[in-house]
Structure 1
Amino acid sequence: MTSTDELAFPLEVDYSYADLSREFRDVRSGPDIARWQELLPPLHAPTLGEGGTPLVELDGVFVKDESRNPTWSHKDRLNRVTVSAAVGAGAPGIVVSSSGNHGASAAAYAARAGLDALVLASAESPPAVQDFLRAYGAKVLSVPSEGRWPLMRQIVERLGYHPVSNLTVTHTGHPFGPEGYKSLAYELHDQLGRTPAAVFVPTGYAELLYGLWKGFRELRDLGLAEGAPRLYSCESAINAPLSRAFAEGIAAAKIEYTPGSRAYAIGAALSGYRGVVALRESGGAALTVTDEELDEAQRRLAGQGLWAELSSAAGLAGYRRLGQRFDGPVVCVSTSAGFKDLGVGTAPPETVDASWASVERLFI
């Protein structure tokens, strides 16, 4: 495939599957995603203990709680391999365009690897998230979204920093990104003892969606799993470029971004080719959810002890929106922790009298 001025196709990573060792096929254990090393790019960057997150049963489905990763999001799987690429290339630092989770995770793995990190953030990202970025020693610039990619290109060219997010006209991401996400598919198969029937995935640019599909496809093609699940992308109803691309049968779509959703982490104005591939090849579908449906899903998760970021509740919200029964286990991926939401921690707590009357008011 050839990229054009309107569409960019991502690079794909391939492996010599015939040469996999018996150890990979029979004994897959370890403290982080390095347990899957034979089907991952070289892991030059030190681990922070990413992966191995719990699978929690809730309301008849399973929730894969990715908030248990080192920086409390699924992005740690991606950044272990993308920062490894920077280390392998001898880059002095990494640069990333991110409104939150990706930037924080990249900054943490860069710090662990002894690299500089420069994050081009959105001016609308929560203050707590920007503090989160700086805690790892990252240099943070809040710039208008339309200026982030041109500036990132200059940083790559002038400073030699390795980009761990893409610079392309439609989303391609870092080639190694979905490779890190494959580990989530491997874990789900191990935790369930079988292939799930369906997986519902919070979706922005669809790198996680595609990584899951590639992982399940590899397990199936290697004879390590029976079949592969249907995958469902779950986007904000306000901005849903993948849903448009899938409905129109095109490789990728650009839309005019509409502000308004509080689910900022899955807000996107363009999609990428791999998201459509994952949905089409898995036999799944593109779903959209409203902020009200996300609120309800977030409350359900919290009621069971899981505090998810609003965007992260999209998997459960999408499952409930579809309302379909499946012949086998269903997994809703929850990608990040609730403290990263807009408005969290900005209001000081109210001080009340230390009296029984104050306790009673809690139950009115």
Structure 2
Amino acid sequence: MTSLATAQRSLADPSVRHPLWPPLTRGCPVTSTEDVAYPLDIDYAYDRVPAGLFDRPAAHGLERWAPLLPPLAAPGLGEGNTPLVELADGVWIKDESRNPTWSHKDRLNRVAVSAAVASGARGIVVSSSGNHGAAAAAYAARAGLPCAVFTSPSAPPAVASHLRAYGATVLTVPYESVRPLMRRIVDELGFQSVSSVTDTAHTGHPFGPEGYKTLAYEIALGLGRAPAEVHLPTGYGELLFGVAKGFQELARLGVTGSVPRVYAAEPAAAGALTEALRTGRPVARVPVGPTAAYAIDCEVNSYRGVLAVRTTGGAAHTVTDDQMSAARKELAAQGIWCETSSAAGLAGLRARGRRESDGPVVCVVTSSGYKDIATAKESFAPTAPDWEPIRATLTARESERP
């Protein structure tokens, strides 16, 4: 199937349009100001979407949705088609840890790396604390492109091993040097950035969030309708925007009769989107405190997140590490092991309280517990081969079960 993508358009002023190529990775050159770099969105020939596109089940590989994605010039890894798991109280979990590199970032990078291939980039460069870098490295390797990943010296040791396994060049430099160096790699070496290189706001790759739309498609097909609410872990807000856009497209095409309210859950140690919405600004910058949710502790938001919340009637709120830890334990008790950041959506729902709604409620879990900063740091004493303490331990645990 052929892509129906037609143009890039400014999210600050949708009447401002640019050709589809090249991807404008530094925001809209017309509507951005000295204070705010505004990201771009991708437009499609919606009147040409094939009849029956949503009549078939979801499948592994984003090419299943090719008409509503930018051209997929790079090969995939069977990303997407992750399971919906129902909890006892009727809340549904969309488990993105089942993707090829164990996170939702595979969806973004299938699309963004494809854009780099199609536009003739000589390599991929990305700034990431873990998930985004691993996915970019994997999809760059699959496409035969070199990949440079700027990551934090404090990132979990497993992250560097994961990146290097794909042949990526791992760079650990002071935070304030990352974006200037990324811009030089783009300008002087011909690489394409698949993460943000702008200083005044997060813009990111304009094609990337299109990959996240497919989450909405899969959720709607899995439930047989649009949910009433979707709760998502939120850092910069690209996932939030992509999921909201996907549901808006489904309603526009008559596949569903409604658009769910989209709720952002940010760590209390940051909360840039929550602050932007509270103050009515397109972008807010906040101090970042210590948190186990290192994957979403962002000091600045993207305007994409503001639009996602406003256009769906949702909200943004912060959750504490204790609340995320409790949600993580709840998920683990149901067989879903995720990193602390990934439990933020469920933590946000639990903090808000389950309310009467006009349909199902979905929480997105974004990444595997293998990515957590504390994973593999604990040690456990060996078990003595004595029956009585083993019997007592198992009996006690059996009595603790609900």
Give the TM-score, by structure 2 length: 0.88
Q: Corresponding residue for 2:303? A: 273
Q: Corresponding residue for 2:226? A: 195
SS at match of 1:196: coil
Q: Corresponding residue for 2:80? A: 51
Counterpart amino acid of residue 289 in structure 1:
V
Deviation at 1:193, TM superposition (A): 0.1
Counterpart amino acid of residue 194 in structure 1:
R
For residues 168 and 98 of structure 1, what CA distance do their matches in structure 2 show?
15
Q: Corresponding residue for 2:39? A: 10
Deviation at 1:32, TM superposition (A): 1.5
Aligned match of 1:179 in 193, 207, 210?
210
Q: Corresponding residue for 1:68? A: 98
Q: For structure 2, which runs of at least 5 residues remain unmatched after alignment? A: 1-11, 13-30, 397-402
Q: Corresponding residue for 2:367? A: 336
Indicate the percent of aligned positions where both proteins have the same amino acid: 56
Aligned match of 2:385 in 342, 354, 363?
354
For residues 140 and 358 of structure 1, what CA distance do their matches in structure 2 show?
47
Superposition misfits of 4+ residues, deviation over 3 angstroms:
25-30, 360-364
For residues 381 and 185 of structure 2, what CA distance do their matches in structure 1 show?
45
Q: For structure 1, which runs of at least 5 residues remain unmatched after alignment? A: none
User: Is the aligned partner of 1:86 residue 2:120?
Assistant: no
Q: Corresponding residue for 2:145? A: 115
Give the TM-score, by structure 1 length: 0.97
Aligned match of 2:67 in 38, 41, 61?
38
SS at match of 2:330: helix
Deviation at 1:352, TM superposition (A): 3.4
Deviation at 1:123, TM superposition (A): 1.2
User: Is the aligned partner of 1:249 residue 2:280?
Assistant: yes
SS at match of 1:311: helix
Counterpart amino acid of residue 179 in structure 2:
W
Aligned match of 1:293 in 307, 323, 347?
323
Deviation at 1:347, TM superposition (A): 3.9
> What is the CA deviation profile of residues 94-126 of structure 1, one whole-angstrom value per residue up to 9, with x for unaligned ones?
000000000000000011111101100011110
Asked if 1 retains the 8 angstrom alpha-carbon contact of 2:231 and 2:362, the reply is yes
Structure 1's 108 and 356: CA in aligned 2 closer, same or farther, altered over 3 A? same
For residues 31 and 344 of structure 1, what CA distance do their matches in structure 2 show?
28
CA RMSD between the two structures: 1.3
For residues 264 and 194 of structure 2, what CA distance do their matches in structure 1 show?
23
For residues 313 and 136 of structure 2, what CA distance do their matches in structure 1 show?
32
Counterpart amino acid of residue 314 in structure 2:
G
SS at match of 1:13: strand
> What is the CA deviation profile of residues 249-272 of structure 1, one whole-angstrom value per residue up to 9, with x for unaligned ones?
1111111222x1110011000001
